[in-house]
Amino acid sequence: MGITPDIRQYKNELRQQYRTLRKRMTPEEKRQKDQAIFEQITVSSYYKQAQTLLCFVSTPLEIDTHRLIDFALSQGKRVAVPKCLDQAGTMAFFVIRSFDDMEKSTFSLWEPRAEKCEALLDVRASICIVPGFSFDPEGYRLGYGKGYYDRFLSKYSEIKIGICYNNCVAPKLPHGRFDVPVDYLFTEKYVKKIKK
pLDDT at 2 over 80: no
| Residue 108 within a domain | yes
> Residue 106: pLDDT band by 50, 70, 90 thresholds?
low
| Local structure of residue 155 (DSSP, 8 states) | T
The pLDDT value recorded for residue 85 is: 86
For residue 109, give every residue at least 6 positions away whose Cβ sits within 8 Å of its Cβ, in sequence order, or none. Answer: 57, 59, 84
Amino acid letter for position 160: K
> Residue 130: pLDDT band by 50, 70, 90 thresholds?
very high
Taking only the tens place, the pLDDT of each residue in 135-189 is 999 999 999 888 889 999 999 999 999 999 999 999 999 998 889 999 999 999 9
> Residue 116: pLDDT band by 50, 70, 90 thresholds?
very high
Taking only the tens place, the pLDDT of each residue in 11-61 is 999 999 999 999 999 999 999 999 999 999 999 999 999 999 999 999 999
| Residue 146 within a domain | yes
Taking only the tens place, the pLDDT of each residue in 88-101 is 778 999 999 999 99
| Residue 101 within a domain | yes
| Residue 1 within a domain | no
The pLDDT value recorded for residue 30 is: 98
The pLDDT value recorded for residue 3 is: 44
CATH number for the domain spanning 104: value is: 3.40.50.10420
The pLDDT value recorded for residue 108 is: 77
| Residue 2 within a domain | no
| Residue 117 within a domain | yes
For residue 89, give every residue at least 6 positions away whose Cβ sits within 8 Å of its Cβ, in sequence order, or none. Answer: 146, 147, 148, 150, 151
At how many degrees (to 10) do helices 27-42 and 66-74 cross?
A: 30
> Residue 5: pLDDT band by 50, 70, 90 thresholds?
low
The b/e string for 67-87 (b: 16+ C-beta within 10 A; e otherwise) is ebbebbbeeebbbbbbbbeee
| Residue 158 within a domain | yes
Q: What does pTM read for this prediction?
A: 0.93
**Structural domain for 84, as ranges:** 7-193
Cα 163 to Cα 45: distance, rounded to the nearest angstrom: 16
Burial class from Cβ neighbours inside 10 Å (0-12, 13-18, 19+) for residue 107 reads exposed
Structurally, the chain folds into a number of domains equal to 1
